[in-house]
Chains A and B, each alone.
Chain A
Amino acid sequence: MNAADIKNAAKQTLNAIKRSILIIISILLLISFLINAIPKDFFKTIFTGNDILDSITGAIFGSIALGNPINSYILGGELINQGVSLIAITAFVLTWVTVGVVQLPAESVMLGKKFTIYRNIFAFITAIVIAILTTLTLQLFL
């Protein structure tokens, strides 16, 4: 490794920063806007009591939801105490991290439209499948 290698690596990194900084700022502005625009008790009103329907609802709202995953655990824990099924909450917690509707434009610009669409669709379906499997497996061990 010599000075030219370091200079070249720094140049490549600066180009990557230039390419991505505006996208990151846009996403942060979008997230900040949605966090404030959506009422805090909104999630409590959307579950019906039907396991399958609620798991899809959970996965949809987890996909749209934003913020640190710790918030999904706290909210999920609260919702379970209020009678929402474990399947629904598992799907909700999973899509919270693995599917990002708000991040779709940024992911699409950086990693490609097809990649983004396929990845998010599979992550969405997988969340529901894992939610069902986890709950069934858990019942075997109870």
Chain B
Amino acid sequence: MKNFLVKTDGGIKLFIIVIATYLVFAFINFELIVASLNSFLGLIVTILPILVLVFVLMFISNLFLNSKRITKILGHESGIKGYVLSIIFGILSTGPIYMWYPLLSDLREKGAKNSLLVIFLYNRAVKIPLLPVMIYYFGLKFVVILTVYMIVFSVINGILVDRLLLIQKR
């Protein structure tokens, strides 16, 4: 059993744990599991278009961007342009955060640097379509100030995570 767990891929391990949780709770609280499965189906329907979009983007990036080009755009020599692109892509990206992990993992394998992945993930907090709702609840001034701070701190976070990972690598 120990050997099986060590050899098993992380994704499969996670899946087994989640399924086991569902099975255990099916005996404790069956209604909770039925409601959860209903929510799951609802979520699948909601995220399917985004997931398709992510995989289409991944196909396009595989088609047009090789390691050399990605390293130039998002690698260690990308400079300020890399930061600006990550901020813009982060703000424009839609859907749940976990939908973007496969694409980001793929880009990093091809040479994208960690700080830019962090900046991308942080700027997903700036959601243009949701700004009117945020302004309605918190006011325009609050939203403008918050957005500026979020963008500035996303870059600081990106640099810090990158540095820490580099230090540990040495």
CB distance from A55 to the nearest CB of B (A): 14
B59 proximity list for chain A (CB < 8 A):
9-10, 13
Within the complex, which residue of A33, A100, A133 is in contact with B97, where a contact is CB–CB below 8 Å? A100
Residue A84 interfacial (CB < 8 Å): no
Residue B80 interfacial (CB < 8 Å): no
For B108, give the chain A residue with the smallest CB separation: A111
Looking at chain B's contact residues, is the secondary structure mostly helix, strand, loop, or mixed?
helix
B85 proximity list for chain A (CB < 8 A):
none
Residue B1 interfacial (CB < 8 Å): no
Residue A53 interfacial (CB < 8 Å): no
The 0/1 profile, CB within 8 Å of B marked 1, for residues 13-39 of chain A is: 100110110111111111111011100
For A8, give the chain B residue with the smallest CB separation: B62
Residue B88 interfacial (CB < 8 Å): no
The size bracket of the interface on A is 35 or more
Residue B133 interfacial (CB < 8 Å): yes
Looking at chain A's contact residues, is the secondary structure mostly helix, strand, loop, or mixed?
helix
Residue B161 interfacial (CB < 8 Å): yes
- A94–B104 Cα distance when bound, in Å, is 21
Within the complex, which residue of A36, A109, A122, A141 is in contact with B11, where a contact is CB–CB below 8 Å? A109
Point out residues on B near A: beta carbons under 8 Å: 10-12, 14-15, 17-19, 21-22, 25, 32-33, 35-40, 43-44, 47, 51, 55, 58-59, 62-64, 97-99, 101-106, 108, 114, 117-118, 121-122, 124-125, 127, 130, 133-134, 136-138, 141-142, 145-146, 149-150, 153, 156-157, 160-161, 164-165, 168
> Can you give 19 A-B contacts (C-beta < 8 A)?
A13-B55, A23-B98, A24-B99, A28-B47, A29-B40, A31-B39, A32-B36, A35-B39, A36-B32, A74-B133, A114-B168, A115-B161, A118-B160, A119-B161, A122-B157, A134-B146, A137-B145, A137-B149, A138-B141
